[in-house]
Amino acid sequence: MSVPETAAPTCWIIAFGNPQRGDDGVGPYVAGRLRDAIRQMSGVALYTLPQLDIALLEDIHGADYLIFVDASAEAIDNGLRWSPVTPELNGWAMGSHQLTPTVFLGLLHLLYQSHPTAWVVSVQGRSFDLGEGLSAEARRDAERAAAQIVDWLYIQGIALDGQKNRGKGRHHG
């Protein structure tokens, strides 16, 4: 999982979820929509995973920005929400299968003294039953999420820096 030392990404997009559980596959779907756009951005890396994994900490500890993308079972106004992530370790047990972005960021702070700006992009899921494919509403909101992430990368200047080094964006998973 290690990324070469040269031109380390400043922004990591970590998209997670299970595509075999309907709308829980929002994260991987958004990652798929982002792949072509970030290939042009040397400052951006993309991971797609079934769930957050502490093994990523080593790779991303030098990041300035983290964007987590996941489905949400709760109702969200307009089906899409950006929320800042603050680090926290309370309520997490070592070996737990449920690693949240707040705990992930807390571990990043604790183990690497790393303090990136972090966001969770939550897309409202409607159906989490067994089966592949997103509901029409989740697909629409996931498309909006991907577009907003690309816009955010340009607004932050991350995408523009990458244009100087075409083709060097990274993606994993």
In terms of pLDDT, which residue wins out, 56 or 90? Answer: 56
Name residues whose C-beta falls within 8 Å of residue 90's C-beta, 6 or more positions apart in sequence: none
Domain-located, residue 1: no
Burial class (CB in 10 A: 0-12, 13-18, 19+), 92: middle
What DSSP element (H or E) covers 81? strand 80-84
Domain-located, residue 137: yes
Domain containing 88 equals 11-172
Q: In this structure, what are the phi and psi dihedrals at residue 56, rounded to the nearest 5 degrees?
A: -70, -20
Q: In this structure, what CATH number is given to the domain that contains residue 52?
A: 3.40.50.1450
The pLDDT tens digits of the residues spanning 32-57 come to 999 988 988 889 999 999 999 999 99
The pLDDT tens digits of the residues spanning 113-151 come to 999 999 999 999 999 999 999 999 999 999 999 999 999
Lowest-confidence segment of 13-17, 44-48, 59-63, 168-172 by average pLDDT? 168-172
Angular region, 110: left φ>0, alpha ψ -120 to 50, beta rest? alpha
Domain-located, residue 157: yes
Domain-located, residue 15: yes
Domain-located, residue 3: no
Domain-located, residue 5: no
* Total domain count, the chain: 1
* CA distance linking residue 55 with residue 60, whole number of Å: 10
Domain-located, residue 4: no
